[in-house]
């Protein structure tokens, strides 16, 4: 969940077209990963990729890294493949693949919107403190991701 929210905050932080394209790239590549997982394609280090997504996206927010839009979309897309693969590989055999995919894609989109909303809420608190608050949120996500990597969380 933290990675999905981080995508929304990062998109808000970059602004402009990133507000739409960063979350959309995540969703599209997550579907690709979900298809790979559902069809049994093996992908190594899925859990590591998911944990690193929280660390790296949180760090990008914390340090205010403003990579070009296509680079940001590519990085987010790579992480999305790991998240999607986990969803697809865990799909129950008795479940409709389409319904299952619609469920995890719509849930992810809502989490992206929540992240954008968190970024906007922070922005409303005060333009003077906004960068610090958004970066603090990114720092907390990075620490949580490190906790997942270390097996603490």
Is residue 142 helix, strand or coil?
helix
In-domain check, residue 90: yes
pLDDT in tens, 71-83: 999 999 999 999 9
Cα–Cα distance measured from residue 41 to residue 122, given in angstroms and rounded to the nearest whole number = 41
pLDDT in tens, 96-126: 999 999 999 999 999 999 999 988 887 777 6
CB 105 within 8 Å of CB 31 = yes
pLDDT in tens, 19-63: 999 999 999 999 999 999 999 999 999 999 999 999 999 999 888
In-domain check, residue 108: yes
In-domain check, residue 78: yes
In-domain check, residue 99: yes
In-domain check, residue 60: no
Token code pair at residue 49: 């990729």
Cα–Cα distance measured from residue 152 to residue 9, given in angstroms and rounded to the nearest whole number = 24
- Structural domain of 19: 2-47+65-134
In-domain check, residue 10: yes
In-domain check, residue 41: yes
Total structural domains within the chain = 1
In-domain check, residue 104: yes
Q: Provide the sign of the torsion angle of the four alpha carbons 51, 7, 59, 152, taken in this order.
A: negative
pLDDT at 93 over 70: yes
Token code pair at residue 112: 């992206």
């Amino acid at each position: 969940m933290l990675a999905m929210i981080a995508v929304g905050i990062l998109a808000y932080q970059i602004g402009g077209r990133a507000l739409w394209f960063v979350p959309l790239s995540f969703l599209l590549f997550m579907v690709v990963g979900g298809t790979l997982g559902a069809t049994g394609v093996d992908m190594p280090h899925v859990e590591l990729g998911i944990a690193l997504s929280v660390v790296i996206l949180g760090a990008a927010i914390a340090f205010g890294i403003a990579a070009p839009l296509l680079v940001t979309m590519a990085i987010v897309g790579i992480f999305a493949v790991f998240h999607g693969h986990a969803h697809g590989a865990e799909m129950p055999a008795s479940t409709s693949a389409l319904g299952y995919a619609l469920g995890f894609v719509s849930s992810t989109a809502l989490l992206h919107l929540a992240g954008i909303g968190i970024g906007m809420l922070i922005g409303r608190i005060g333009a003077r403190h906004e960068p610090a608050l958004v970066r603090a949120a990114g720092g907390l996500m990075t620490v949580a991701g490190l906790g997942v990597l270390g097996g603490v969380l």
